[in-house]
Every structure is written in structure tokens, then in C-alpha cells.
Structure 1
């Protein structure tokens, strides 16, 4: 069993039982104590479990916990860069695109500087800042600033409701078959739903850590995504489930994990 497969199985056990001891996992998978501890360390770094003495428990953050933009920007940089690079290939010259708030969409914005004739609609201050020195037309929705440097609320929603774009690149806090694409911020849910409604095509950008993470508010069901771009660290079982629900699943390669 590959390290990634074993870690996915460990995560399932922890979530099912609320916690697991190292000794139990050693017996379950027939690997060394050190290997299990490395697996738990990897899962803890991804925010999927909480390490405790002798084992791990279900990760503590609730559905409304929202890290700031700077905190999120240092997480999964390799994966986000690869996802953004693949998303940039979907942007056609002379089109109108919307970019929601998020660190992956901000990475995408930096790759759009040289796309000719582009109009970019966004509620993200970092996205607008990344494009401010370019020749692109940037439409900033306005609104109330959130911890993720998004503009949200009634003003932003009203602005988005009057627009039509060719494609929306949507960053999300979490995704699961039960709850769809979610956010921990109720105001951001409102503006994101407006952006989804304004777009002819929805492209969701979500790295592997977003799987089975659930925010308080649903933006859209999985089925609404025309394209979902994720990374190869997403467990194969999750890839299978998403392939059955989204229009097209694109999995980008990132450096593999060693056992």
C-alpha cells in the first residue's frame, strides 16, 4: 500500500471512530510505529487530524473557522501553483472571466497578465492587486472586507447580479458529496452564489485538503461544476466520487510522497 493510500485509510478510521491510537494503526496496517507516526504527522500538517499523545483525533476546527488570507497563502503552495497553471490554460483571449476570492485564484490572477483583451470580474482584493499593473480591465465588486480579503455583502452581490461572464474560477474552503462546495463565511457564500449565477461555465479550483472539509454555507452542489481542477494527492476514492459528479475532473501532478 502506498503512503497516500494508507493515510487516506487512516483518516477514514479516525473520522469513523473519533480517534485512533498508534498501536491500533500499527496492527491494522502491518507497518512500523515510526511509519504510522509519520503518516499522522502528514495528516496533522494538512489539518485533517489533531495529534495527541499516542495517536490522533478528529481535527478540531469548526464549520465557521476562517483563516486569514496570509495564513492560507503559505499552505499547499506547490499544489495551488500547479492548479493555477492548469486553470490558466482554460482562459481565452478576449473573454470575460470572474475570479472569486482565495489564494489559488490569486495565484491564477498572476498568470493572466499577458492574456490579451481580458476582462476580469472579482471580489478579491489580492486578485485585483495582482492585475493592477496589467492592461486587463478589472471590475471590482465592492462590499465589506472579510478575513480572506474578499469583498462581500449586499453591495457586492448587487454588483455581481448585473454582470455576465464566460467563466468563473471559484476557490472553495471545502468540498464533499453531502454538502457540495462550501465556505465558512456566510457573506462570502452570498457573493459566490451570485458569481456562479453570472457565469456560463463554472471551474472550481480545490487542492486535496479541501476534500471532506465542510464550511457552514454551501455555495453550489458538486454537480454544478463544469470543471474541477485538483491535485494528485487527492485520494483515488475521492477522485472516483468526484468524477461521477462534476462535468470534468482535471488532476494535476505534484511531487509524490514517500512512504
Structure 2
């Protein structure tokens, strides 16, 4: 299966490169260039279109320049993140005490937990606007509000997580790399995230394929601290293998 996923990933990378080089193409041409069936090309193009990497119009296939601008994530990336969040929600049992950090992917998990009674401690103020189970307990950590994310940080936030231990923790990150571990790009959230990881029961990390193998500025935990990594099947299989060798269970969600 891993070998098959790698072949698909490589083929789709070649497909994107061909479209990007020529400016546009069509199913028949790409089928001939890659030596695969037109049905395979159509299937690949459907997936890549949903991911925002290409766009299809009346049989014409074009490269999507907007995909390269991570400051404007595409709806398809949000779709992938939601699929990962839904899988993470499956790991939470009724009655669990849950930690969630300021990651949008981690917070999205809560939208799939409205049928479960949980005790939530978080520094993510976006949870205020979400629907929750009527018997759930929602606690904000307190601390300094940092915009634009409206994240709670500082010593008060760290202290809040110092006296509680979760059953399950769900976090997102900016990077996941063998050398630098779990990392974030936001210095003000680094200490809070580190304390969240330290006091976690089962630690679940949600990271889409863009984060796998990437290094960010501030390390918040070691790869070996992760109990479960939830990612998608576009993640680099070589990096995934190395992560699994650290004793981490990995679920790759098909998208």
C-alpha cells in the first residue's frame, strides 16, 4: 500500500509539473505523456482540483498559481484539514478530559464532537463560538490575548495547563521533522504548547502533508512524545516511515 501511495504521489507530481511547464493541457495529452489511462488522469485531476493545485474548465487543465501562496489557503486544504479533524474526533470518548491548542485543525475537531460530553481546557478562544454537547465543560486557560488568532498565551495560560492532565490532547503544529521535532512558528505560544504536551495523556497531532518533514522556528516537543499522528496520504512516505520508527502510530486519511 505504501508503495502504491508513493507511485500515485510521484505520478501526480509529474502531472502538475507538466501542466505548470506548458501552461495548460488536456486529459488525452497527459495520458499520452505519462503512459497511463485517461481514466487515471481524470481521477488524478479531480483530486488535484479539489486540493486547489489545478483548475479544470471545459476540458482545459491549468496550473493554479494561487496554490503556491500559503497566505491564502484554498478551500481544498480546508477540506483536507476537516477530514483529519473528523478522524481525530473518533479518538475521543464520551467523558474524556481534552486539551486543544490554538491550531485551526485541532479546533475543527470540536465540530465533530457535539455528540460527546467532554471536559475541555484550551487556549483557543474560537471555541466560544462553537456548538458543544449541552453537558460538556468548556474552560479557557486565561492569559494574554494575542491577535490576529486571539490566542491565549503567557504565564497564566501555562499555569492553567500545569495542574491538569488530559485523557486526550489534540494539537496542530507548523512543522513535524525528525531533527527539530514538533514545532511552531509563534514564539508566544511555544511555552503553552510545550506544557500542553508535557501534561498530555494520549497525544494526537494533526498535520496535513504541508507540515510533514517541515521545520519551523520553535520546538515544542519530540516526535517520540506523539502517540498518534493523523495526516493525509499525500505526506512524504519516507518521512512517515521514519516517524513510525520512532514508535508513533500513523493514520493517513484518504482524501
Task: Give the TM-score normalised by the residue count of structure 2.
Answer: 0.71
How many residues are treated as equivalent by the alignment? 212
Question: Could you tell me how far apart the structure 2 residues matched to 1:217 and 1:157 are?
Answer: 16
Distance 2:250 2:208 in 1: 12
Structure 1 residue matching 2:10: 3-state secondary structure: helix
Change (3 A) 1:135 1:145: farther
Which consecutive residues of structure 2, in runs of 5 or more, have no partner in the other structure?
1-5, 23-32, 35-40, 54-67
Q: Work out whether residues 213 and 236 of structure 2, in 8 Å CA contact, stay in contact via their aligned partners in 1.
A: no
Deviation, structure 1 residue 175: 0.9
Whole-angstrom CA distance in 1 between matches of 2:102 and 2:85: 13
Query: Residues 219 and 72 of structure 1: is their aligned pair in 2 closer, same or farther, counting only changes over 3 Å?
Result: farther
Aligned-pair distance for 1:3?
5.4
Partner of 1:238: 239
User: Which residue of 2 is the match for residue 114 of structure 1?
Assistant: 115
The equivalent residue for 1:55 is: none
The answer (yes or no) to whether the contact 2:83–2:253 under 8 Å persists in 1 is: yes
Contact kept? 1:88, 1:111, Cα under 8 Å: yes
Residue aligning to 2:58: none
Q: Please tell me whether Structure 1 or Structure 2 has the larger radius of gyration of its CA atoms.
A: 2
Asked if the contact 1:106–1:130 (Cα under 8 Å) also holds between the matched residues in 2, the reply is: no
What RMSD over aligned residues (CA atoms) do the two structures have, in Å?
Answer: 3.2
Using the alignment, how far apart are the partners of 1:206 and 1:151 within structure 2? Answer: 21
Higher relative contact order (CA 8 A, sep 6+): 1
Q: Which residue does 2:227 correspond to in 1? A: 226
Take 2:73 and 2:69, find their aligned partners in 1: how far apart are those partners? 17
Offset of residue 189 of structure 1: 0.9
**Cα 1:224–1:240 shift into 2, 3 Å:** same
- 1:123 match: 123
Unaligned segments of structure 1, at least 5 residues? 11-20, 24-30, 47-58, 62-66, 255-259
**2:10 aligned residue:** 5
What is the TM-score of this pair, normalised by structure 1?
0.70
Distance 2:101 2:218 in 1: 16
